[in-house]
Amino acid sequence: MHTRRITSTQAGIDIAYWDSYDLPSSNSADVHPVPVVLVHGMGGDGGTWDRFARALIGSGRRVIVLDLRGHGRSARAASYLFEDFGADLVELCDNLDMDRVDFVGHSLGGHAASLAAQARPALVRRMAIEEAPLPLRPGDPVQIFAHKLPSPTELWHATTSLIRHPRAAFAFDRSMTASALEQFRRPNPLWWNRLSQIEAETLILRGGSGGMVDPHRLESAVAAIPKCRVVVFPGGHSIHRDRYDDFAGVTIPFLMAPESR
């Protein structure tokens, strides 16, 4: 698939993406009118969505897959504020003249999608957020990300992911790690206050005991988002990788369902 680029006007950096609209089979009258934008997590790149993207294209969806700033084929940046990632998503949609989209985002990508849905509520029709850590609320204890020994399954997936997509490991700008952790450890009342502005039908996908979503804050987020439901999966943080069939079995019907009334 040919890699395209846009230049972010707010940062002056190139954001790389590919668009299934370049495929003859995806440029036809019977393609679903709402494109799906797939957003990877921190340390990865768009290649993590290859299997899921093929399934969506086979279901008649136009699919756009990007590499976030500092990842994959996109440029490194001076700033890695979460709001920057959300603004990049909105700008990509504007650049492609898409006034209505569905988002599927993993981890940092899911958080960026939520920021885009807050900034431009009318843009996002449906949003599936997979294992995006929830920001702290004022008064919450400091966020601690446990460093547990990986299971054999997690080690296997990490090794095979590196073999399949070595570019992600080598291209990732590791300078953003400290910035991301610091932001997740700082209360973000603005994000919480803006949840009620999200118009998208929202599906939150939470991993089990190995995940990164705090269940108590999750209850508050679900109560604040007008149209939101949660599906919990056994396992850990990367549901779309480790439990692909379960992930696709829930997410594709959600994206293909008719508008609710």
- What is the mean pLDDT of the segment spanning 3-14? 84
Q: In this predicted structure, what is the pLDDT of residue 167?
A: 63
pLDDT tens track for 90-138: 999 999 999 999 999 999 999 999 999 999 999 999 999 999 999 999 9
Question: What helix, strand, coil percent values describe the chain, rounded to 5?
Answer: 45, 15, 40
Listed residue (56, 119, 61) closest to 87, CA to CA: 119
Q: In the prediction, which pLDDT does 147 show?
A: 44
Pure H helices in the chain:
50-58, 82-95, 108-119, 152-164, 166-171, 176-184, 189-193, 215-224, 239-242, 244-256
Give dist(CA 150, CA 112) in Å, integer.
Answer: 26
Say whether domain 4-256 belongs to CATH 1.20.1290.10.
no
| Confidence at 158, pLDDT banded by 50, 70, 90 | very low
| pLDDT at residue number 239 | 96
Edge to edge, the sheet with strand 228-232 lists: 4-7, 14-19, 63-66, 36-39, 101-106, 124-130, 201-206, 228-232
Q: Which residues contact 21 (CB under 8 A, 6 or more apart)?
A: 27, 35, 62
What is the rounded distance in angstroms from the CA atom of residue 143 to the CA atom of residue 136?
7
**Of 45, 213, 15, 216, which is closest to residue 114 (Cα–Cα)?**
213
Q: What's CA 259's distance to the chain center, in Å?
A: 22
Element (H, E) at 7: strand 4-7
> Which pLDDT tens digit goes with each residue over 47-68?
999 999 999 999 999 999 999 9
In contact, 35 and 255? CB cutoff 8 Å: no
Q: 161 versus 130: which is more confidently predicted? A: 130
Angle between helices 82-95 and 108-119 (to 10 degrees): 60
> Contact, 191 vs 129, CB < 8 A?
no
Give the number of other Cβ atoms within 10 Å of residue 212's Cβ. Answer: 18
Using alpha carbons only, what angle is made at residue 177 by residues 121 and 109, rounded to the nearest 5 degrees? 25
Helices 244-256, 50-58: axis angle to 10 degrees equals: 40
Residues 6+ apart with CB under 8 A from 137: 187, 189, 192, 217, 220
Give the number of other CB atoms < 10 A from CB of residue 143: 18
Q: What's residue 31's pLDDT?
A: 82
Residue 7: strand pairing partners = 14
